[in-house]
Amino acid sequence: MKSRKVVLSMKGLQRYIERTNGKQNLTTTVYGFRELKPKGNRCEYNTAIIPHFVVDLDKGRASQMLDIDDSETGNRCTRDTLTLALYLREQNIRHAVWMSGGGFHIWVMLDKTYELPPAGLSNLLFSGRVLINKWIKDMDLVTIDPVVSFRPDRHIRIPNTYNYKRKLWSIPLSIEELEMGWDYITNEARHAKGGMKAIGSKGLEIDVVEGDANYSTNGMSGIFQKFDAEDVSVSAGNVSGIPVLPCLEAACCTKGDNPPHQSRAYLMMYLMDYFRDFARPANTSQKSNREVIIKTHQFIETLEWADYSPKITNEMLVHGASRNYLTPSCPKIYQEGLCIGKCPFFDGKGIKRD
């Protein structure tokens, strides 16, 4: 996905699909938006309209999380999808399932449409991610990508379009078809099928937990303390040998992705801070700006962003180095809707203490 296209109507979306289906991979953001950025070429992600969410289950995660043969990853992904679909059916939650090529998507309707200011949106997105984490833990759904469902910038496969990489169609599926297994589904996905197979009548309710409005530090004041610790705890890992904040890893460290500018800027700030050994003040670091820029650029290059430009990346890094930008605080990350939970790097800011 080398570029993103803003679509202003359902007719526009349908025309775009008809024109490009089968020629390239077609994905869309999970949500629509109320506003565009000034240039009109990107959405303002903090103006998301949220009447639903989409759960992404990927067989590749079975390889990462479990010690199983590649031949079994599709079966595990199908099993997880079936487990969640059966749960939603039992709860009479309106939902629909379709294949993505390398896994499945489940669309889930909410009990109402949320159109919130940025602070309220951050609370909703975080509360939604906690719900997904709870599902993963309670039902052992290891193939769910916990980030996609409640992130305005993330993309999902458009139903009934062709997966150019997998050479399969993203076909709609019933619970009975899921019960037939991965091999049956992939065989069926060799041919296009229209429509969606939605069942259930109720929208899912989300208990939106809010921060403390009267606290001076905006964002996530006390938010972690309002959930069970297990539901908000996230581990940290390395990317290309560098320890990266889990929120930034999820936001822009997926190879071949096309992340939004804000996520890239925050990653740049963190990497430069890291390569300066987190010197405070930043200009007291023993590392030169040139060394910091080179190392940061080398890391970004490994991410293989779809629209990666060495020239533009270098310009951003030179600008950032000259300003001695520092890693954004946890409340700032939370306000941007990027926080995915309490990680080992949590800086303690934004927590209300008596």
Structural domain ending residue among the three candidates 172, 188, 204: 188
Please give the average per-residue pLDDT across 135-147, as a whole number. Answer: 95
Residue 217 lies in a domain: no
pLDDT at 147: 87
Q: What is the pLDDT of residues 306-346, one digit of tens each?
A: 889 999 999 999 999 999 999 999 999 998 889 999 999 99
- What global pTM score does this model have? 0.91
- Do 175 and 72 reside in the same domain of the chain? yes
Structural domain ending residue among the three candidates 166, 188, 210: 188
Q: Which residue, among 45, 18, 25, 23, has the nearest Cα to 34 in the 3D structure?
A: 45
Compute the chain's Rg from CA coordinates. Answer: 21
pLDDT classification of 353: cutoffs 50, 70, 90:
low
pLDDT at 23: 82
Exposed e or buried b per residue across 176-214, where buried means at least 16 C-beta atoms within 10 angstroms of its C-beta: ebbeeebeebbebbeeebeeebeebeebbebeebbbbee
pLDDT at 40: 86
- Do 175 and 311 reside in the same domain of the chain? no
Q: What is the pLDDT of residues 230-253, one digit of tens each?
A: 889 999 989 999 999 999 999 999
- Do 29 and 136 reside in the same domain of the chain? yes
Residue 7 lies in a domain: no
Phi, psi angle pair for 104, to nearest 5°: -145, 155
- Do 71 and 167 reside in the same domain of the chain? yes
Which domain range does residue 326 map to? Answer: 235-335
- Do 50 and 166 reside in the same domain of the chain? yes
Report CA torsion sign: 341, 342, 347, 351.
positive
Q: What is the pLDDT of residues 282-300, one digit of tens each?
A: 999 999 999 999 999 999 9
Structural domain ending residue among the three candidates 156, 188, 220: 188
Cβ pair 84, 106 in contact under 8 A: yes
Residue 128 lies in a domain: yes
- Do 324 and 265 reside in the same domain of the chain? yes
Number of domains in the chain: 2
Residue 202 lies in a domain: no
Please give the average per-residue pLDDT across 205-213, as a whole number. Answer: 83
pLDDT at 349: 77
- Do 46 and 109 reside in the same domain of the chain? yes
- Do 272 and 159 reside in the same domain of the chain? no
- Do 89 and 146 reside in the same domain of the chain? yes
Residue 222 lies in a domain: no
pLDDT tops 50 at residue 216: no
Q: What is the pLDDT of residues 160-201, one digit of tens each?
A: 999 988 999 999 999 999 999 999 999 999 999 989 999 999
- Do 150 and 244 reside in the same domain of the chain? no
Residue 169 lies in a domain: yes
Question: Exposed, middle or buried: residue 337 (CB in 10 Å: 0-12, 13-18, 19+)?
Answer: buried
- Do 32 and 143 reside in the same domain of the chain? yes
pLDDT classification of 203: cutoffs 50, 70, 90:
very high
The enclosing domain of 141 has a CATH number of 3.90.920.10
Residue 245 lies in a domain: yes
Q: How many CB atoms lie within 10 A of CB 323?
A: 11
- Do 77 and 164 reside in the same domain of the chain? yes
pLDDT at 61: 92
Residue 199 lies in a domain: no
Placement of tokens 């309670």 in the chain: 138
pLDDT at 351: 65
